[in-house]
Amino acid sequence: MPDPQVEIVVDLDAIAHNVRVLAEHAGNAAVMVVVKADGYNHGAAEVARAALAAGAREIGTTTVAEAVELRAAGITAPILSWLNTSDADYAGGIEADIELGVSAAAQLAAVAAAARELGRTATVSLKVDTGLNRNGIPAVEFPEVLELLGKLVADGTVRFRALFSHLAMADEPRHPVNDRQRDRFLDFVAAAKEQGLEPELVHLANSAAALTRPDLAFDMIRPGIAVYGLSPIPEQSDFGLRPAMTFRARVLRVKRVAAGEGVSYGHQWIAERDTTVALIPAGYADGVPRPLSGRFSVWLGGARRPQIGRVCMDQFVVDLGANETGVRAGDAAILFGGESGHPHAQEWADALGTINYEIVCAPRGRARRTHLGGDR
């Protein structure tokens, strides 16, 4: 098959490296690798396999559907799913031995109904709200949930696996909100134990907390973005992580543009001198955000080349300058990647006023994803 014009290349050896970095920070705590949203667009099954081979013990997803897909792909490690409506396919989750994260009494009842119908025990974790005020069981609803859980555990409908919560401000490690969430978390754990409901494990830390707050690691850390090699606190450090994703495209053509000529829609860029430009066949339909127009560069022909004019749906143009560069049609342009000198996803995030998470989730459309390295 000929090389596609636009590619997402995911380095599974970088994933393995990042898991080892995280495991070092985790101390005695286990590592659950979060592969929601198709592994932050890196390929959930491939990332899960590489991460487990590198020492991760568990896998985290949002929906039951994502979790069941990983089972179908042959992942046998524990998989937790934590964001589901009450009418989610809990039966499918129970049959696939997925650990179901529950955030409300009604959800717990729905899980129990599915378990009884199947004649199987459901594995349940309680997600508690310690201050994010998004998903999670609020403290006022916790007694009701515990009462129901107590009955379901007693009659064998449910196995109570874990109690967990999610941090709101972990990217500001010293912010007192983190300590308040820890204290509330411990209150939830104590309340469960008082009802005779002892979780097998408790977990709280996302990437930022895993890397900066070892005191919040509890029994397991739950990193996402750091697994993919991007820093959860870029202004603080890269934490020795290696970006796993390279977004690249092949030059479609190289041409001369005369001084005074405008390039791309709206002629937002006018050549000040005779120059050579390269046409890159990737646009906003492929995950190159249009607001980046004129504000990024690609690695091409051994140097950074500024992007000029508007980014279009299918293509954009870079300026190669007045002198001969040797760049030819078919050459690979790195939009962002992990090698030093190459543009970094963080640069796009900074230019757009967003976070690196959104940047790696963007490549799509015609971009073909392939994987390198790892145990595939």
Span 170-189, contacts to ligand PLP by CB under 6 A: none
Smallest gap from residue 230 Cβ to ligand PLP (A): 9
Residue count of the chain: 376
**Can you say which residues are annotated as belonging to the binding site for substrate?**
134, 313
Establish how many alpha carbons lie within 13 A of residue 131's alpha carbon, considering only the half-sphere containing its beta carbon. 17
Contact 205, 218 (CB under 8 A): yes
Distance CA 306, CA 141 (A): 55
222 binds ligand PLP, rule: CB under 6 A: yes
State whether residue 284 is helix, strand or coil: helix
Establish how many alpha carbons lie within 13 A of residue 64's alpha carbon, considering only the half-sphere containing its beta carbon. 23
Binder of ligand PLP out of 81, 123, 206, 346 (CB under 6 A)? 206
User: In angstroms, what CA-CA distances link 361 with 3, 20, 36, 329?
Assistant: 22, 23, 11, 28
Distance CA 165, CA 204 (A): 5
**Can you say which residues are annotated as belonging to the binding site?**
134, 313
Smallest gap from residue 339 Cβ to ligand PLP (A): 23
Of these residues, 36, 40, 228, 284, which one is catalytic? 36
Q: Is the Cβ of residue 82 or residue 90 nearer to ligand PLP in the bound state?
A: 82
Binder of ligand PLP out of 17, 49, 161, 166 (CB under 6 A)? 166
Of these residues, 90, 255, 265, 284, which one is catalytic? 265
Strands 316-321 and 275-280 come out as: antiparallel
Strands 6-11 and 245-250 come out as: antiparallel
98 contacts: CB under 8 Å, gap ≥ 6: 64, 67, 68, 71, 79, 80, 81, 123
Smallest gap from residue 193 Cβ to ligand PLP (A): 22
Distance CA 350, CA 6 (A): 23
Contact 307, 289 (CB under 8 A): no
Q: What are phi and psi of 177, to 5 degrees?
A: -60, -35
Assigned token pair, 237: 């450090």
Smallest gap from residue 310 Cβ to ligand PLP (A): 32
275 binds ligand PLP, rule: CB under 6 A: no
Q: Is the Cβ of residue 220 or residue 280 nearer to ligand PLP in the bound state?
A: 220
Assigned token pair, 114: 């599915």
Binder of ligand PLP out of 39, 199, 224, 337 (CB under 6 A)? 224
Q: Is the Cβ of residue 134 or residue 273 nearer to ligand PLP in the bound state?
A: 134
Span 60-99, contacts to ligand PLP by CB under 6 A: 82
Q: Is the Cβ of residue 91 or residue 226 nearer to ligand PLP in the bound state?
A: 226
Q: Is the Cβ of residue 172 or residue 331 nearer to ligand PLP in the bound state?
A: 172
Q: Is the Cβ of residue 71 or residue 166 nearer to ligand PLP in the bound state?
A: 166
Q: Is 40 a catalytic residue?
A: no
What interhelical angle do 12-26 and 44-53 show, nearest 10?
50
Per-residue contact string for residues 109-148; x = within reach of ligand PLP by CB under 6 A: ----------------------------------------
State whether residue 361 is helix, strand or coil: helix
19 binds ligand PLP, rule: CB under 6 A: no
| Binding residue count for ligand PLP, defined by CB under 6 A | 12
Contact 30, 220 (CB under 8 A): yes
Q: Is 265 a catalytic residue?
A: yes
87 contacts: CB under 8 Å, gap ≥ 6: 110
Q: Is the Cβ of residue 55 or residue 321 nearer to ligand PLP in the bound state?
A: 55
Q: Which segment (6-14, 216-224, 239-247, 359-367) binds ligand PLP by CB under 6 A?
A: 216-224
Residue at shortest CB range from ligand PLP = 224
Q: Helices (DSSP H) in 27-60: which residue ranges? A: 36-41, 44-53
Distance CA 164, CA 341 (A): 40
Binder of ligand PLP out of 39, 78, 199, 223 (CB under 6 A)? 223
Binder of ligand PLP out of 232, 289, 337, 343 (CB under 6 A)? 232
Q: Which segment (3-11, 21-29, 110-118, 221-229) binds ligand PLP by CB under 6 A?
A: 221-229
225 binds ligand PLP, rule: CB under 6 A: yes
DSSP state of 137: B
Q: Which residues are catalytic?
A: 36, 265
Residues that bind ligand PLP (CB under 6 A): 34, 36, 82, 166, 206-207, 222-226, 232
